[in-house]
Structure 1
C-alpha cells in the first residue's frame, strides 16, 4: 500500500470485484514489512491509504479487514494494537490468528486487545521448531519454512482452542471462524477438523449459558 493514484485505481478494481461477488469484506495486508522495520514515512503512507480505501469501501457497504501477520505492520500484539490505533475508522476491522511459536497467554492477550474491532478469526493448530510443542530459539538459527512448522489436527490443540473460543463467546458478537490450514492439506482432515470445531463451539456455548 502507498499513496499513489495507481494504487487507488488498483483498489477500485478490487472493490468492483468484491461488489460483483457480493462479498462483505476485503482482506488487506498492512504493507510488506514488520512494524519495527518500517519508517515513519512508510507507516504514515499506509495509514493514509487505509483511511482512503475504508471510505471507498464504506460506500459499497464492504468492510476493510487487516490480516494479523508477520511481515506487515500487524506482526505481533504490540504492533497490531499500535497500528489499529492509527487507523481508527468505523469501516476498518482486523482478523486474528494464533501467532506461531508464542505461549497461549500471549496469543490470548493479542486476541483480547483486538476484540472490539475483530471481524474474523483464523483457526489452526501448528507447532513451531518442535513436532511436540512450540519451541523457538532464535539464537540457534533462523526458523525454516516449512521444515520447522508442523501442522496437527485441531483436536490436539483443544486446550488452546477452548480459551480462544470462550474469549470470543464472552464478547457476545458473532465472529466468523475460518479453518485456514489442515494437516497434510488433506480434505478428510479438513472435514474432521470442521466437525470437531463445530462440536467444541456447541459445547462451550452450553457450558457458558448457566453462568451468564
Structure 2
C-alpha cells in the first residue's frame, strides 16, 4: 500500500502556480500575480526564488505567501536522486529549506536518465537516495514527491509504478503532468495508475513538439484530467510554463483553470 500521508492540505482540488513559470520575476511579483488571478497556492522553486540553504529568505517567502492568502503547495527542489548529493547539494539542506518555507512536500527528480537506459545499479542508487531524502523529510513532517517526467525513472507508467512500489514504506508520493506526445487516453491511464500516490498536478497545454499554447486550447483534455485528479484527496492543480512566459497569458490561463474548477477565491476558503 502507498505511504499514508499526513500532509497539511486544504480540500478539494484547488488552482495554483509553479513559481518557475516566472523565473524572470521576483518572488513578490509571483505572489501578486497568483493572488490577482484568484489562485490558492504556489509551488516555490529552489533554483531562483527560494535557493537551497537560504533559510531567512525561505521564511520571508513563506510569510509573504501567507500574507497574500495563499498556501505553499510544494518546494520544487530540483534535487536529482542519485546525482545531486555527489554534486554538492546535501539532502539535509534541501529538507531544511523546505521546512523553513513551510512546504508540505519536496519535489525531486527520479534521476537523470530514462527508465529504458537505467541498469540495476542506477535503480539502486536512485531508490537508496530517495529513501534517504524521504526519511529526512518525514522526520520534519513532510513528504517527498517525484516529478513525473521524461528522462527519469518516472517516464513510463510501469517504471513510475515500480519506483513508487519499491518505496511504499517511506513518505514518497508523486506529482503528475501529461506527456504532450501522448494522447488523452494514454495520459489518463498514466494518471489513474498513480492516483493512490498522487500529490499535485502540473497544468499546461503543449503540442507534441512542446510548443506552448493557451490552456483553453486543451480544455477538453484538462476537464478529463482534473476530473480524475479530484478523486481521492486534497490536491492542487498548478499552472506551469505559459506561452511566451507572458503574465497576460498566465492571467487568461488562470481564469480558464479557475472557471473550469469552479474554485473559490483564496480568501473565501
TM-score bracket relative to the smaller structure: 0.7 to 0.9
Aligned mates of 1:194, 1:59 — CA distance in 2: 35
2:263 pairs with 1:183: no
Q: Is the 8 A contact 1:125 1:152 kept in 2?
A: yes
SS state of the match for residue 174, structure 2?
strand
Per the alignment, residue 155 of structure 1 pairs with 216
**Larger fraction in helix:** 1
Per the alignment, residue 256 of structure 2 pairs with 196
Stretches of structure 1 lacking an aligned partner (at least 5 in a row): 129-147, 204-212
Deviation at 1:19, TM superposition (A): 1.5
Aligned mates of 1:49, 1:20 — CA distance in 2: 22
Per the alignment, residue 171 of structure 2 pairs with 91
Report Cα offsets for 1:100-150 as digits up to 9, x if no partner. Answer: 21111000000001111111100100112xxxxxxxxxxxxxxxxxxx321
Q: Is the 8 A contact 1:54 1:89 kept in 2?
A: no
Aligned mates of 1:34, 1:16 — CA distance in 2: 29
Q: Is the 8 A contact 1:51 1:89 kept in 2?
A: no
- Larger Cα Rg: Structure 1 or Structure 2? 1
How many residues are paired up? 183
Per the alignment, residue 234 of structure 2 pairs with 174
Deviation at 1:156, TM superposition (A): 1.1
**Of 7-16 and 183-192, the range deviating more from structure 2:** 7-16
Which residue of 61, 69, 72 maps to 2:141?
61
Alignment of 1:5-24 (within 5 A): 10-24=90-104
**Of 103-112 and 5-14, the range deviating more from structure 2:** 5-14
State the TM-score, normalizing by the size of structure 2: 0.64
Q: Is the 8 A contact 2:85 2:91 kept in 1?
A: no
2:102 pairs with 1:42: no
State the TM-score, normalizing by the size of structure 1: 0.80
Stretches of structure 2 lacking an aligned partner (at least 5 in a row): 1-80, 264-269
Aligned mates of 1:186, 1:51 — CA distance in 2: 38
Per the alignment, residue 29 of structure 1 pairs with 109
**Larger fraction in strand:** 2
Q: Which runs of 4+ in 1 moved over 3 A?
A: 2-9
Per the alignment, residue 142 of structure 1 pairs with none
Aligned mates of 1:19, 1:84 — CA distance in 2: 23
Aligned mates of 1:5, 1:111 — CA distance in 2: 30
Aligned mates of 1:155, 1:100 — CA distance in 2: 15
Q: Which has the higher contact order (CA 8 A, sep 6+)?
A: 2
SS state of the match for residue 36, structure 1?
coil
Report Cα offsets for 1:68-116 as digits up to 9, x if no partner. Answer: 0011101122221122112213410000001121111000000001111
